[in-house]
Copies of this chain bind each other. A is one copy, B any other.
Amino acid sequence: MKKRLFTPGPTPIPEDIMLAMAKPIIHHRNPEFKEILKDVNENLKYLFQTSQPVFTLTSSGTGAMESSVCNILNEGEKAIYVNGGKFGARWGGLINTFGGIPIEIKKEWGTPPDADEIIKQIKNHPDTKAVYLTHSETASGTVTAVKEIAKKVREISEALIVVDGITSIGAMEMRMDEWGVDVVLTGSQKGLMIPPGLAFIALSERAWKKVEITKNKNFYFSLQRTKKAFDSGDTPWTPAITLVIGLNEALKMIHAEGIENVWARHSKLAEGIRVGCKALGLELLSKNPSNAITAVYVPEGIDFQKFNDALKYDFGVTVAGGQDHLKGKIFRISHLGYYDEIDMVGMISALEMTLTKIGHKYIPGSGVRAIQNYFNQHV
């Protein structure tokens, strides 16, 4: 059966990239690989919209999250974080692990944090050293207004703004320098369209000053070791060479399309999916939906397992289910990475045909008609 992946990581890998990674491996201390690293570094800066170096780590995105805690926060230092989903909650786990004092802003899944809630907590805790945000919460498909929050926080506090951009980078606008964000990180298997195994992190000059006085223990994820190697065109440890080769190709594609165009494409595809789902009478979870992933309630009376099996085994479509308390209650459609309009129409079509199979009532063709109309009207 032809397989169609609509999960928020891994995301589909462009065919040319699969083949580039399948070429005979080269050594990472060779001039040829150093050239690749140089190109990668330049294009990552473009992706993050920063003039700062963007470091490539060999780990999942969680490794970059760890690195932005253990290099930046000392024991006993306060950090605000927003827990509005599984990945926001991970910030709390990390802050705790490394001995920081976590100040949690808890949000219902699907509801983004308000800038004023964060400001209020900073006023309550003026000694807060960092604010940890999740740009696009993958568990609920919800966007945090990073630009606005960064601006307001900066007006009243020196706290560093750290942003988990794991599902946002390459899908949604992120202008690290212009927005005054101090740390941005992401993973490889998302907007970057390559397999999991790499993570990326960039720091502002302000953040670097904090790294220099942070005493938490770190070795593999030490940003000082990473920077030292980076400055001589290298990596501190053996990098995941084939993934870096794929990354180079992916970044060239993004550069050729233009980052604003990549963001606009994601915005259009996401809105198409939302329009299509609503036309089918489906309800969306998020109050501020992400352009990377759409969380949709499983219709009343429909068994998720039955629904998911039909989608998967009859039409080859893999979506993501709900996590934790939303398990069985929502499904999540990814439109992150290597997708175009026809992919989205295909997704809505598979959804329609699945709903027909399992007996959900809706007007046949209404979803596909709606998404096509939307795309036609927004060229």
Copies of this chain per assembly: 2
Residues of B within 8 A of A3 (CB): 24, 26
| Contact yes or no, B10 A239, CB < 8 A | no
The CA of A55 and the CA of B320, in the complex, are separated in Å by 25
Residues of B within 8 A of A27 (CB): 5, 7, 10, 318, 320
Contacts A21-B22, A22-B22; A98 near B217 (Cβ below 8 A): yes
| Contact yes or no, A10 B94, CB < 8 A | no
Complex interface: stretch among A61-69, A142-150, A274-282, A293-301: A61-69
Residues of B within 8 A of A242 (CB): 21, 195, 197, 242-243
Question: CB within 8 A of A241: which of B18, B195, B237, B320?
Answer: B195
Q: Is A99 an interface residue (CB 8 A)?
A: yes
CB nearest to A75 among chain B residues: B217
| Contact yes or no, B30 A24, CB < 8 A | no
Question: CB within 8 A of A189: which of B18, B98, B218, B238?
Answer: B238
Q: Is A286 an interface residue (CB 8 A)?
A: no
Q: Is A187 an interface residue (CB 8 A)?
A: yes
Q: Is A216 an interface residue (CB 8 A)?
A: yes
Residues of B within 8 A of A24 (CB): 3, 5, 12-13, 18
Question: CB within 8 A of A22: which of B18, B59, B241?
Answer: B18
Where chain A touches its partner, the secondary structure class is: loop
| Contact yes or no, A243 B240, CB < 8 A | yes
The CA of A242 and the CA of B218, in the complex, are separated in Å by 28
CB nearest to A7 among chain B residues: B27
Q: Is A256 an interface residue (CB 8 A)?
A: no
| Contact yes or no, A241 B10, CB < 8 A | yes
Q: Is A220 an interface residue (CB 8 A)?
A: yes
Contacts A5-B24, A10-B28, A242-B195; A219 near B60 (Cβ below 8 A): no
| Contact yes or no, A196 B239, CB < 8 A | yes
Question: CB within 8 A of A196: which of B60, B216, B241?
Answer: B241
| Contact yes or no, B25 A10, CB < 8 A | yes
| Contact yes or no, B58 A197, CB < 8 A | yes
The CA of A59 and the CA of B23, in the complex, are separated in Å by 21
Contact indicator per residue, chain A 16-57, by CB within 8 Å of chain B (1) or not (0)? 001101111111101000000000000000000000000000
Expressed in whole angstroms, the minimum distance between the Cβ of A231 and any Cβ of chain B is 19
Question: CB within 8 A of A219: which of B93, B187, B239, B320?
Answer: B93
Task: A70-B217, A240-B243 are known; give 9 further A-B pairs, CB within 8 A.
Answer: A3-B26, A12-B25, A21-B21, A25-B195, A59-B63, A63-B220, A99-B217, A197-B242, A217-B217
